[in-house]
Amino acid sequence: MDTPVTCLELIRILPATPEEVFAAWTRPELLGRWFAPPPLVPGRVSADARAGGRFQVEMLRPQGKAAVVGGEYEELRPPERLVFTWEFEEMPETRSRVTVLLRSSGGGTQLTLRHERLPDARQLARHREGWEGCLAALETFLGGDR
**Helix 18-26 and helix 121-143: axis angle, to 10°?**
120
Q: Using an 8 Å Cβ cutoff, are 49 and 27 in contact?
A: yes
| Architecture in CATH of 6-143 | 2-Layer Sandwich (3.30)
Report mean pLDDT in 10-residue bins for the chain, 146 residues: 73 97 98 95 96 96 90 98 95 90 96 95 93 97 79
Q: Calculate the alpha carbon distances from 9 to 48, 61, 144 in Å.
A: 25, 25, 25
Q: Within 10 A of 41 (CB to CB), how many other CB atoms are there?
A: 16
Q: Is the dihedral of CA 40, 44, 49, 54 positive or negative?
A: negative
pLDDT at 144: 76
Query: What DSSP line would sit under 49-61, residue for residue?
Result: -STT-EEEEEEE-
pLDDT at 63: 86
